[in-house]
Amino acid sequence: GESVGLHLPTLSVQEGDNSIINCAYSNSASDYFIWYKQESGKGPQFIIDIRSNMDKRQGQRVTVLLNKTVKHLSLQIAATQPGDSAVYFCAERGGSYIPTFGRGTSLIVHP
Amino acid sequence: EPEVTQTPSHQVTQMGQEVILRCVPISNHLYFYWYRQILGQKVEFLVSFYNNEISEKSEIFDDQFSVERPDGSNFTLKIRSTKLEDSAMYFCASSESPAITYEQYFGPGTRLTVT
């Protein structure tokens, strides 16, 4: 079946570095993608989204890149801070308002 | 900043017992959702609710599950006869109309432990 997944389960970076978290999706009908952040003991928190008619979208310190050719999504975090330590999920939607989540990547930021 | 709240934060129950998980969505939101996350696994959609009825549900949401909006503020998930495999984090979420935004706001979750 269709699935959304992540390449790396854990990413460790130094404070101040840029972080890149990757996600592969297989549903070619997906037209909307979302990145969520989940801190320990909390629910997922919306970070940024992108529609399939775009290939890049920027937020505050975050950038999402979408490559539909290879069905790849990435989240770039600039100047990573200890407060960015969390699990990051990508999710996709295709024909429904309900997101399908990937497993998540744990980002660990070392001071 | 408005937020979704959930109670209790942790619920321990015996297999076969009924549990009710409670959520207070953001006050001006009209769409409500329940998700679950088994430890170490993906967040999974259970059900969405709008205008006092279920709008979408997943295969997980079988006859053992039900949702209700008993008043103007609460949104509940009931599991009639819990099974060991129901042990998970349950997240409530709410949103404005998807025609306006797809952004869903999640609560902190209820950890359900079935023994």
Give the DSSP letter string of A24-77: EE--TT--EEEEEEE-TTS--EEEEEEETT-SEEE-SSEEEEEETTTTEEEEEE
* Interstrand relation of B43-50 and B53-57 (parallel, antiparallel or unpaired): antiparallel
> Can you give the pLDDT at residue B100?
67
For residue range B48-79, what is the model confidence (pLDDT) as tens digits?
Answer: 999 999 999 999 999 999 999 988 789 999 99
- Name the residue facing A43 among B48, B58, B107 (closest C-beta): B107
**CB neighbourhood size of B10 (10 A):** 10
> Can you give the pLDDT at residue A1?
35
Q: Do B48 and A98 touch (CB under 8 A)?
A: yes
Percentage of residues of chain B with pLDDT beyond 70: 97
- Name the residue facing B102 among A41, A89, A97 (closest C-beta): A97
CA gap A68, A59 in Å, rounded: 20
B30 neighbourhood in chain A, CB within 8 Å: none
Q: Do A99 and B45 touch (CB under 8 A)?
A: yes
The residue-averaged pLDDT of B6-12 equals 97
Q: How confident is the model at residue B1 (pLDDT cuts 50, 70, 90)?
A: confident
Q: Is the pLDDT of residue B82 over 70?
A: yes
Q: Do B43 and A44 touch (CB under 8 A)?
A: yes
Give me the tens of pLDDT residue by residue for chain A, a chain 111 residues long: 334 554 448 999 999 999 999 999 888 888 899 999 999 888 999 999 999 999 999 999 999 999 999 999 999 999 999 999 999 999 998 777 778 888 889 999 999
| B3 Cβ contact partners less than 8 Å away, ≥ 6 residues apart | B26, B105, B107
> Can you give the pLDDT at residue A27?
85
The residue-averaged pLDDT of B3-23 equals 97
> Can you give the pLDDT at residue B88?
97
